[in-house]
Amino acid sequence: MSQRILIVDDEALIRRSLAQILSQKGYDAQTAASAAEARRVFPGGDFALVLLDLRLPDASGIDLLREFKAARPELLVIMMTAYGSVETAVEAMRLGAYDYVNKPFKSREIEVIVKLALEADSLKREVRVLRQEASLPFGLDHLVGEDPATQKVIAMIRKVAQNPDVTVLIEGESGTGKEVVARAIHAESGRRDRPFVGINCAAIPGQLLESELFGHEKGAFTDAKNRKPGLMERAQGGTLFLDEIGDMDVALQAKLLRVLEERSIRRVGGVEQLAVDVRVVAATNQNLDDRIRAGRFREDLYYRLKLIGLHLPPLRERRADILPLARYFLRGANEKFHKDVRGFTHECEALLLDYPWPGNIRELKNTVERILILEEPQWIAPEHLPPEILRRRSRDEERAWIPQEPEILRGVPYEEVLDGVGRYLIREALRLAGGNKAQAARLLSMDRGTLRYQIKRLGFDDSE
């Protein structure tokens, strides 16, 4: 999309000539002959820059500068005047003007100053984004998990980060933290001071995705009004994260493979090969072996991406991570929503451990944040949990609680756990035997008398 520039000047010849000069350079130039007209078009214009005359028939350009900068402090404004003076130049710059030019001016002068202003602004924005990203918790210190599977992934990240050129393929269900791992690899590597650029390959159609990745030249296709660098160029020196790589069009996969092999790109509609220095980290929640057999994913690209492969198990397979993650998200939610919730009750923790978390870590985080948004508890208890977690316990109300490593380390009531297992097994055996005690005893490999004794000892009532 072309950058939009507003030209505000009461002289028709200047407006037309400036609009022509800038349009020829690929900008979308719009004009206004007065302050009133400029005020009408400015709010909805999304302008990147304003060329503003100091003297207008209905207002001072300084006043208009002040209004525009108050509405959009980041706006670039270049003042123009035939009546220049040091005092007005100083005042304009104090109010936030980018520069100040005197009439008459040459077309080349305007071209250069506009180009430099927009490029400087683009660099400032990039630096701001990089600083924001650098302040976010993406390093290994912020990867939470006590499960051996998680610790194995963390160890792999450390090794991969030390090799900044190798490609990485991260596989795992949706919500298991694939982008978090990709960002950790970037943050721990020598590329940390360069951009981390990500794109979801499933969210963009094939032809458009090619343009997004490799960029395009002016006139390459309809609406390609000027040259656009792609994400590969934006990530130069850093990391490109290709999420949902399994959904990439097969034809584009061939082009990506060539880029990975040659480490250079060619913009859509271009002829020049541009060298790129990026680490590619890809991720998928699909079984790529199945897609290869179906002819929907290139086997050579698969092995090129999987120079290093990382598998993230679902949360239900690393239950030792559930409570540490829940507490981590609670600390973050307390800060985010200005709350002071102290923790989870033991009964609530048991429910969290018992739930299979089909949405994985993302679902756990959303659950904690939703509770803090809707509730004001001192401790999070079962009644604060969403219905799907409570329904799970309702269906398996007497299901045995099998403590995991974190609970065992805190200490567990041995006899109580054994009784819970006993109640669950007897209840299930009686259900499967249709209430026939003799058959239930056989299912449990005990005699009928022992079963009757255990039923009495464990406190089953007649209805049960």
Whether residues 307 and 329 fall in one domain: no
For residue 416, the model assigns a pLDDT of 74
Judgement on whether residues 296 and 400 belong to the same structural domain of the protein: no
In a domain, residue 463? The reply is: no
Instruction: State whether 279 and 338 are in the same domain.
Output: no
The CATH number that applies at residue 376 is: 1.10.8.60
13 and 116 belong to one structural domain: yes
Place of tokens 């939610």: 333
| Residues 353 and 451 placed together within one structural domain of the fold | no
pLDDT tens, position by position, 261-311: 999 998 888 888 889 999 999 999 999 999 999 999 999 999 999 999 999
Q: Is the pLDDT of residue 359 over 80?
A: yes
Q: What is the pLDDT of residue 133?
A: 52
Considering the domain architecture, whether residues 333 and 423 belong to the same structural domain is answered as: no
Tokens 């960002």: give the residue: 183
Q: Identify whether residues 344 and 281 lie together within a single domain.
A: no
Instruction: Assess if residue 64 is contained within a domain.
Output: yes
**Average pLDDT of the residues in 152-156:** 93
Is residue 464 included in any domain, yes or no? no
Please indicate, yes or no, whether residues 219 and 194 belong to a single structural domain of this protein: yes
Please tell me whether residues 308 and 322 are part of one structural domain: no
In the prediction, which pLDDT does 135 show?
Answer: 44
- Rounded to whole angstroms, the Cα distance separating 445 from 40 reads 86
Q: Tell me the backbone φ, ψ of residue 229, rounded to 5 degrees.
A: -65, 145
197 and 75, same structural domain?
A: no
- Whole-number Å distance between alpha carbons of 137 and 139: 6
Whether 106 shows a pLDDT value over 90: the answer reads: no
pTM of the model: 0.60
pLDDT at 463: 58
Q: How confident is the model at residue 400 (pLDDT cuts 50, 70, 90)?
A: low
Does residue 305 share a domain with residue 167?
A: yes
Say whether pLDDT at 74 is over 80.
yes
Other residues' Cβ atoms within 10 Å of the Cβ of residue 153: 23
pLDDT of residue 396: 45
Residue 138 within any structural domain of the chain: no
Question: Residue 254 has what pLDDT?
Answer: 95
> Phi and psi for 52 in degrees, rounded to 5?
-125, 120
Q: Which of 264, 297, 313 is the last residue of a domain?
A: 313
For 410-446, the pLDDT digits (tens) are 677 788 778 878 888 898 888 888 888 999 999 999 9
Over range 120-146, report the average pLDDT: 68
What is the number of domains present in the chain? 4
Q: Domain containing 450: what range?
A: 413-457
CA dihedral 88, 90, 95, 97 (to 10 degrees): 90
